[in-house]
Amino acid sequence: MKKKLTAMLCMILLAVIILPGAGLDVRAEDDFSVEADAAILIDLDTGKVLYEKDADEQLYPASVTKMMTALIAVESIEEGALDLKQVVTVPQEALDSISDPDAVTIFLAAGEKMKVEDLLYATMLPSANDAANVLAYAIGGSVDAFVDRMNVRANRLGCTGTHFTTPNGLHDDNHYSTARDLSKIAREALKHPLFAEVVSTPRYELDATNYSAAREINNTNYLIHEKSAAYYEYAVGVKTGYTSKAGHCLVAAAEKEIEDQALAEKTGLEKRRFLTVILGADRDGYNGNTAFEKTVSMMEHAFNDFTYQTIVKKNYVLTSASVALSEDGDSVDLKTDQDIEDWAEGTIDPGKVQFEISAERDLVAPVEKGEVLGTARVIYDGEDYGRVNLVASNSLSFSRKLYIREKVTDFLSQWYGKAVVILAVLMLAFLGALIGRLARR
């Protein structure tokens, strides 16, 4: 394709338009809701938010804080700064800050020796606050130094509404987070196999220490306990939390096999994986925890109400461009060169997809069928679903006759062209007069 040298003949169109029949609004009217102070549901693989309620409100996270404590511990183990079999001696300082008689502990005592592995499981399964503090000391040298690391790590993850003051989540007015930030922490943590293994473990046996016999601890996340009334067969973790001011909190992950082999091959996924965060599900004490049933409701919404659908079809004409110097036509349609498919909620509602188009609007022949002439970003409900190329729907050949005509017209429109014409006319007039005079002789 030839382009005119002057910028006046080529421009970029950048506009958001709504075109009927292009695809669907996958965020059609949704009456799904969750009663809680805040909640969020995300696709674990893509990070896409499927549902949210006050997800950026700063709230007390209670013991779901321990996800960050465990994440830093696991990363320290992976980096070689800490070893699972390393034995840690419990310092008195790690226990002094736990003054609440109702705080969950495994009754560690100063001078007691326990493996890092056992401390990690004790932190995440029964939510032992003393174990979390001891881990913090083992990694950071002090609680304050470790908390600094927690805040740095949260910042690196893009957590903009979070500030930690403890490694365990016991109440502090300056200790807060958001549902969105906690989803980022959990999503990152679940990428680490050790973390994923720990939080999916229903029960675990702590080795005997110099002060205690071997004992079994249980995970407070009843979603993964088969004999629990709250059991959810697809649940794989991650962390519960409760204080009287935070209410019941729960971060949970679930995964389910894609049974349709063709769909699995098309999407490149073996499983559908989701993550939920609920903060302040209720404040009815330990006997009135509704976080589990609300989490299951969110998970079922994700598994059942989102299906893989075509958002934009291949060969859909989005716009057109003018074409100069062709006798085949003066414009060409620009159409999509591929399907765009994704997981979408509810019934397809054609005609409500938005496109942000960037394309050349003034072309010069020749134009080849299938030639890429621009792109379109697919957007709905403020979310970006990628780009699609816009290609020419047909070919338009170059006309030399029109080219010459245009050049002549351009030349004659300039002052020097007009001067040449006037000079030519004068010369013709002069020659005519001269010939006439010679003829009379």
User: How far apart are the C-alpha atoms of 54 and 242, rounded to whole Å?
Assistant: 19
Enumerate the β-bridge partners of residue 242.
248
423: amino acid identity, one letter: L
Burial 298-337 (b: 16+ CB within 10 A, else e): bbebbeeebeebebbbeebebbebebbbbeeeeebebbbe
Residue tagged active-site, from 76, 99, 127, 239: 127
- Closest by CA to 64, choosing from 144, 159, 141, 138, is 159
Please count the other Cβ atoms lying within 10 Å of the Cβ belonging to residue 412. 12
Say whether 407 is catalytic.
no
Both tokens assigned to 250:
């729960």
**Alpha carbon 14 to chain centroid, angstroms:** 24
Residue tagged active-site, from 63, 76, 183, 297: 63
Instruction: Tell whether omega for the bond before 366 is within 30 degrees of 0, i.e. cis.
Output: yes
Which residue intervals of 112-230 are DSSP H helices?
Answer: 116-124, 129-140, 143-156, 179-189, 193-199
Which CA distances in Å does 361 have to 120, 324, 333, 406, 414?
61, 11, 11, 19, 26
Say whether 395 is catalytic.
no
Which DSSP helix (H) or strand (E) runs through 66?
helix 66-79
User: How far apart are the C-alpha atoms of 121 and 304, rounded to whole Å?
Assistant: 33
Which residue intervals of 200-290 are DSSP H helices?
Answer: 261-267
User: How far apart are the C-alpha atoms of 231 and 237, rounded to whole Å?
Assistant: 11
Say whether 294 is catalytic.
no
Enumerate the β-bridge partners of residue 306.
345
Residue tagged active-site, from 2, 3, 4, 66: 66
User: How far apart are the C-alpha atoms of 146 and 234, rounded to whole Å?
Assistant: 34
Which CA distances in Å does 233 have to 55, 173, 200, 229?
26, 36, 12, 11
- In contact, 70 and 120? CB cutoff 8 Å: yes
Please count the other Cβ atoms lying within 10 Å of the Cβ belonging to residue 160. 12
174 CB-contact burial (10 Å; exposed 0-12 / middle 13-18 / buried 19+): exposed
Backbone angles phi, psi at 430, to 5 degrees: -65, -45
Active site residues: 63, 66, 127
